[in-house]
Structure 1
């Protein structure tokens, strides 16, 4: 099978993780790197073995690239998405796709017009554990869902840079809180709830000295169930997620996995007290999301089932409600 040719846009840390992941991909290989400054692209390509370098425009103008991965700061995502789609490339874009619902909707509309895949890169959604979780919830394995609890947070080593900069849409909610919120949206979708009815009902948070949210919590009404999520970039939070149903609950020690390994374990606890340990193989999750993008391209689909556009749009809407409640 001929490997699809990937271009990486952005020469930062997350792009480096994607470049390290691509050799584990079944369907694609790194071909090109684009950056605002060609010198940065050259350094990145030397480190990861990409034969082609250039500015963003130069890379997107090439006809020997099948797909692009966008690993730039949040505020540049949508512009690059539009450019890549207009150039005929499939797109895997780091989360969040847009910094607000309007940006997100416009990007999706552009992908629909182009007839090309656009995938939001929530890496935990790809691989055997994510598939098992969807199957369990879609099949009613927990009974009616009544509660979800999830958190993700860390203590940043420095309170400078894009994470703490309002000009680059920094802050805990968009950078980290999107993970637990996206999981809640997934749970709602996989249990047949109307995503348009989801709403943030209560928020709490702290705005730091640089003007971005540094910690936050939210309660989300799922229609007959509630979800409570937390995030932070100034202190560590548990990575535990609990999904509670009337017949059983699921405890996942680390649903997010890592940038090198997907989640492998969870515990199903039934109301009669019996426990079942769930174990699945791990994969390189960033390679898995890359393959999902290329699979969609080759099958003529614009969406990946792991993170459909309806969920991406709902995540953007709820993120805006959460951020707006703190501002």
Structure 2
């Protein structure tokens, strides 16, 4: 029965992937991408990779779709017509894919008991992590303690990506703020009254759930990555319903960008404190009187830094997308470029 579920999910994934490649309506592509992410999350749940499924559901089926929708408002809803046949690119992709598949022939079969990873690494994590780290969730133990330096690199990559996007999308400061159309805003408020009221009711619960995921990652699926995305998604929902100006009055963009750096610095500072206390970088055993208490404190702090950085980077990217969209709309786009902000 489990094999049948796996086959059905894989078939759906292949069909959706082919549909995404063939479609020219970018809005439909974004919708299908969200469905693809949701099905991938279901597939990971079947494989008992609940933490990975949680991340895929929040990122692949959640925040990624919102960011792509914001991008579509600037690029247009329809894909540009093809001016050439990409046979060379297709050939390179096929050759590269064939080489990668050929390279996996010498690897042990998936789940094989005699695979090297199952001889030393996996048994060590499974049998000794509770005594060494003291956290029931082995995934959190691996990511937050055993591989803490690698996770620091991932957070640095997210921060760097955010800096790159902000550099590309940043708008020059305007000396005079464009006047808003109060009549249009009032009309939008009346048109989406039910949606706004329901969303205002749900947003506090979404934020509360994000905090639960943030501080419950030691005992169940979750952690800073998932919590940061969920927290950012709630604020982005508020922005989409009430406008960028209203959201920026509540969440100052400069403060949000500062928090992105603060989260990364908090993570790295835990390692520096470990060195000052005579241990290795990101060795939490010296942060408290007992090694287990030190592990709990260290993982709590670095996960908090991850959550702050992820949420701040996601918000900064969306704020800049929305600000550039409004700037393009105010400057009146050329007739050849379709404005889909009304459609979305």
Say whether the fold is shared (TM-score over 0.5).
no
Name the structure where strand makes up a greater proportion of residues: 1
Name the structure where helix makes up a greater proportion of residues: 2
Structure 2-normalised TM-score? 0.23
Structure 1-normalised TM-score? 0.24
Which is greater in Rg?
2
